[in-house]
Structure 1
Amino acid sequence: MFKRMKIEYYIVTVLLLCTNLVFAQDAKFVAAVNSTQVGTGEQFEVSFSVNGNGDRFSPPDFSGFQVLSGPNVSNSITSINGNTTVSNSYSYVLVAVKEGTLTIGPASMVVNGRRLSTSPIRMTVLKGQPVQQNNPSQNAPDNTLEQDAPTDLSKSLFIKAIPDQTSVYQGQQILLTYRLYTKVGIVDSRLDKLPDLTGFWSQEVKDQQQQAQWHVETYKGVKYNVADVRQTILFAEHSGNITIDPFEMTFIARVPAPARDIMDQFFGSYKDVKYGVKSTPLVIHVKPLPENGRPEGFTGAVGNFAVSADVDKTELKANESLTYKVKVSGSGNLKLLKELNVSFPPDFEKYDPKITDTIRETVKGVSGSRMYSYLVIPRHQGNFTIEPLHFSYFNPAMGKYVVLSARSFKIKVNKGTADSNVTAFSAANKEEVKVLDKDIRYIKTGEPGLSRQGERFYNSAWYILLLLTGPVACIAAFMYRNWSRRNNSDLVKVKSRKAGKVAVRHLANAEKQLGNKNEFYDAIFKGLYGYLSDKLNISMADLNRETIVSSLRTRKVNEQLTEQLTDTLDRCEMARYSPVTQLSEREVLEKAKHIINSIEDEI
């Protein structure tokens, strides 16, 4: 019988929550008292009502009053002609302890993502019975929100940082999972601090569910409800012992409380407790890649890869284009691969490759493929060979280097048309002109362009002006060269001067990614951090919140601007890892542009 009634109680609670999602759009949060004029020692009731469901209720400061009971929470659902109304009420029984005109301040609550507040209530307190003022903590009801959690709650609610391995090679991928263990109910949660992943290149797992998937797990002989709150793939950027800071969250936990009456004894009594949780710092031991056996041309690929190459044609005419494609597939640091060492014949003009990624980040790591597409143009006829591509990587599972080779290709280049074979520029030297057509030139026809005797250019005004142009141009070029050398001699100032242009490119990419949350905030984050690294002359490895704020204050940047910058960085960091956000991407983009422009004006 008891279990059945408990089940019915939870069903009603779920119905209340679900109905609130539909009918809380026009929520109103109001305060009321049964009388605005009371005497000292006289009890009265104040209630705070909302026509929907909300959370994070904050009561007012009852200065001048003594709380006898509360908050007493009540819920109601009314349905008339198919129109359903949900309301929640938080009431307190108070007694005035001193005479005068007193004010019950506003209470606040978050409803549909907006914090609502009630209007203050003015109370007139007349002389009545004297009231002994007790310590407020002695009269605090059991179901109010406690700021200090019980000491034994640490064994019932905690977060563990769980890496799939703690000893890796430089560049080897690590799956880091932050797992929540709880034996108590969780009413609300807030992310307080993300770990500083300095020393790692990180990528959030994208196929992770938007909502935590709970399951039961036994830890040290005790069963817990467990959920993975965040999963990240890390790649160590240097060797040594790298420490990962704690992951911090604050929870509102619902814990059992002593029963006050027979209803509490029957249904159970609970109180909400505010409790901060953080994981233990984690140390990752990173080994350097071995020097022994390192192949020539190794560029830092770590993982398990395969390579293949292809061409779109093996026969073409001179000055026609050819596409040479190389596909690197497998798992590992695919996004950190550098440009390949591709060797083409000297007569082939090569352009920078177009890179296409088909990569997924899952709990199994980063995997997929990267395609390099090279556009090449042979300039002479003949038979040529594109030599095999050699690609090397380090396999951490085998502990050794592996060298792969793609196939070679025989390319036949036929003679091009007369129009396309007249002149071409060498890929090695653009100023070198090659005459490809060896045929006899045709006799020029048309007007010869002769002039009459005496109508000559020599010694004319234009002739003298042209002679003077040369020395003037040389002097101007000399002055410009000296100015350019002085202006670009200091590399730190050059990077600082060009920091704004580099940031503009990142923000332009972010604008293209509007609506694509992860790529958008990643571009904003990289743009701001890259700009600050160049502008403040701080390496990316040393760039963090403290160094940014300290450097800006040293340069006497407006304190309000510094706060806007750190707030935007925090918002971007939160948005990259939080499944749900109320942020406007357009607003974040405009704010980032404003911050960069303001820093440019002040520094």
Structure 2
Amino acid sequence: MAASVQAQVKFEAKVSKNKLGVNERLRVDFEMNKDGDNFRPPSFEGFTVVGGPNQSVSQSFVNGKRSYSKTYSFFLQPKSRGNKTIGQAEIIVDETTYKTSPVDIEVTAAVDTPTDGNDAEIAAAENLHLVAEVSKGDPYLNEAITVVYKLYVSPNISVSDWREVDSPNFTDFWSQNIDIRELRVENGEYQGEPYRYVELRKSILYPQKTGELEIEPLTLSISVDVPGERRDLFGRRLYKTINKTVSSSTRKLEVKPLPNEGKPLDFTGAVGKFSFNVKASKTELDASESLQATVEVRGNGNLNLFELPILELPSSLEVYDPERSENVNVSLRGQEGTITENYTIVPTQKGKYPIKPVSFSYFDPTTESYHRLTSEEILIDVKRGPAASSIAGRQGGSSGVTLPSDQFRYIKLKPDLQPIGQSSFFNSPVFWGSLALPILAIPLLIFFGRKRQEIAGDEKGQRIKKADRLARKYLSEAKKKLGDQKEFYEALERSLHNYLKAKLHIQTSDMSKEKISAILKEKGINDEDIMAFTNLLKSCEFARYTPASQVSMEQDYDKAVTVISTLDKQL
């Protein structure tokens, strides 16, 4: 029975801090879970007792079980600097003597702001820490680093609420926050002591300057519950809630410049690890058909901070400005995904046209070296269409044009020329004709000038020309399917969605017509034009279930040309 009682007795010493300045105070609690007799405190050698002993008792009954706690508290002032020890206290419980373990204390030089061992503010400050953890202290320029802000909370206190007071600006960095969907409490250590912590904020940073850069601190206002001196009727210690402002420390980085040795001439600032590819949607087609040439960079790095190489295309091909698309995810590993630029190409003449190889260079910080990737040459074979001229052939590559052998048959090798007799130029017909010619040319110049102004002011004609280009770009596939109802309306619907995707950089194929209408309205498109666009989408849907004539398909195609032209003008 005695062994059972001894196993249940708990008697221990707790201190408010293990390290303090010579001008600070220390609190020592001797706690037991059973009532005892003849409590004997240690001698407190090296300290002056400035308060205590204060005795407190707490007991409660939960589910029929009794809980008991008794505490003797002392407040000590160190007499000098150095390493000191709080000796063993003794208590007798059921005729058995129990002793606490000695506690080592380090006393340093006086601190600027002395604190007392029973201050709630001090308890909060000593048990609450906001830390900024940086993945790398010496990154290269444009190399991704992560900063994670963690809040460490001691088991001695609890946090009921928090809010941001001041956020870091990351002035010298390109930054992007990582979404934290749910805060999770984890167990860990802070300076060797057991703590709970939660990750409050995560950010990816790309330094934009070299040299010493600072990561500004994050500042929070936190509601903290700390144990107070008062107790309730049952002897339980009452908690006091205070608002504590905590900040992470300012972190400094030493950003290294990218090396000049081995830097390729076509390097545009890509830092990370990438793959590079250039491909065409098709390599054989007819004139007036369109194809897509895609320049793609895939990998991990600063995907938003460099330019893709420009395709070199023959001048005889009609090429539209590339459309850039990004599919990038952000995690603690940095930016990962794909950056592409799509070129719409429309050949106008028969022939073979090469897309020359292009190169892409990047710097890999893990190997600290540059890498250069080069694409393969792509040959576009235009099977049918008007033959290319000799000039187009020389500009655009081998066009297959053969010069006829009798092309110089009109040049006379023996012209039989006769010398012109000398005569006076003055008063000659040529003399008077040269004087009258400028006067006669004035009416012609006025006539042609007015015609030129009429052509330049022909807004309708310009719109028709632009509409024809847009139609050729987005509706060429639908035009080829005229006559086949199912394939025509599928191609027409796909063309309308591709147009909005190119102009608004959104995936409209996954949206409802109501959502598309709302987006166009936000962009300032007229209600009448929005209705015309959505009606075309409805026609594409209805045509899957109801028969449509050739005339109806041609009318819908003409409507699509008009709608795209009108929307393009407003966008």
TM-score by length of 2: 0.47
TM-score by length of 1: 0.45
